[in-house]
Amino acid sequence: MKKIIVAPDSFKGAVSSKKACDIMAEALEKCGCFEVVKMPLADGGEGTLDIVSSLDGSTVKTVEVFDPLGRAVNAEYIINKKTAIIESARACGLTLLLPEERNPLFTTTYGVGQLVSAALSEDINEIVITLGGSSTNDCGAGFLAALGAKFTGENISRIPCGKDLGSITDINLDGLDKRLKNVRLTAVCDVENPLYGKNGAAYVFAPQKGADEKTVEILDEGLKRFSDIIKKKTGADISFVNGAGASGGLAAALILLGAEIKKGAETVLSIVGFDSALISADYVFTGEGSFDRQSFMGKTVGTVYAHSRKKNVPVAVFAGEAENDGLPDGIKAVSINPEGASLKEAMENTEANLYNAVIKFVNKEKLK
């Protein structure tokens, strides 16, 4: 009996990775007798928590925290074995705000710190924090405050936010939660932007969060000032570490606490145990909305291929649009959309198209 791992990413805007996984497994069951291992994946951003929650041994925890504007909101995190997985967007995400509320001068990462504080009460040895989708540009000042850091400066908000960075004159980390020393911190991040400057958090990401040109300048100057204070106080230069600008500089605060930055897809594959599942596998079926050369640049499907190739397990990629030219050895790409289908038709019929494409591929390749 052939063992096939079904490990797709989501088909953005059409089918979640969980749903795609179920459809592909159902198609394989229709084709014959396979050992099917279902393993829906994510890229380490929003949606990662949903993937991890389905793993054996995972427990969903819910805690009341502050949203980006300091309002009470219930946020979930996951305990899996000895690891806590926190999706920062659950507490500071852009989707938590109405369009007219979006302004990174006034948003905070305080709620993410509250999630970490809650996780520290669990029997864990690692906290994984996924970054992305944030509404913030506070360099993690709110996050640090929730964990016990104290800031000095004129007219600083009780809960530090983006506008406070330019007013902070001193930082005291002596009151940081002592339990942080007992856990390993991992920040999941796929961007490499520094903290400030033309390629930094404010200039690149703040406009998407509601910042106008003047606000971007204020925020960028605040990020620089805050990092200078941290360097003066602690000796740590967090400004130009690759990825420090992720989530409005929340990554920089995590780096200050000793966090290791890891790529999203790599982290998710590690959490779900993909490499262990590859043992004795005959094939890997994966998928995404659009497959091309960029899929090999740290994205989920490319990472799946890299791991599978090391074990000499062939990979089939099912995608709405699939580029076949110049593919490396050990991978085949299948476009699931019927020839001539419009984008609207393709999006509306993704589930049926995926199901039919898997059956057709199995029969063509004689995998039974």
Question: What integer best gives the mean pLDDT of the chain?
Answer: 93
Q: Tell me the mean pLDDT in the region 293-301.
A: 86
75 SS3 class: strand
Question: Which CATH number is 2-39+273-365's, of 3.30.470.20, 1.20.58.1910, 3.40.50.10350, 3.30.70.20?
Answer: 3.40.50.10350
- pLDDT tens digits for 63-86? 999 999 999 999 999 999 899 999
* Phi and psi at residue 27, to the nearest 5°: -65, -40
The beta-strand segments (E) located in 181-300 are 184-188, 260-262, 283-291
Given a cut of 90, is residue 19 above it in pLDDT? yes
Mean per-residue pLDDT, 92-106? 96
Q: Could you report the per-residue pLDDT of 31-56, keeping only the tens digit for each?
A: 888 999 999 998 877 778 888 888 88
Note whether 353 and 339 are within 8 A (CB).
Answer: no
pTM score of the predicted model? 0.85
The answer to whether 89 and 46 have CB atoms below 8 angstroms apart is: yes
**Residue extents of the structural domains in the chain:** 2-39+273-365, 48-264
Which residue type occupies 10? S
Beta-strand relationship, 72-80 and 83-87: antiparallel
pLDDT tens, position by position, 130-164: 998 899 999 999 999 999 999 999 989 999 999 99
pLDDT interval class at 275 (50, 70, 90): very high
In angstroms, the CA 367 to CA 6 distance is: 14
Phi-psi region of 12 (alpha: psi -120 to 50; beta: other; left: phi over 0): beta
Measuring CA to CA, which residue among 91, 24, 37 is closest to residue 64? Answer: 91
Cβ atoms 114, 72 nearer than 8 A: no
Selecting from 3.90.1510.10, 2.70.98.20, 3.30.390.10, 3.20.20.70, what CATH number does the domain 48-264 have? 3.90.1510.10
CB 69 within 8 A of CB 54: no
Q: How far is CA 123 from CA 55, 80, 183, 287, in A?
A: 18, 10, 10, 35
- Between the alpha carbon of residue 142 and those of residues 94, 127, 138, 162, 167, the distances in Å are 16, 18, 7, 9, 14
CA distance 116 to 125: 12
Residue 299: which pLDDT band, with cuts at 50, 70 and 90? confident
Domains 2-39+273-365 and 48-264 share a fold: no
Q: What is the pLDDT of residues 213-257, one digit of tens each?
A: 999 999 999 999 999 999 998 898 888 788 999 999 999 999 999
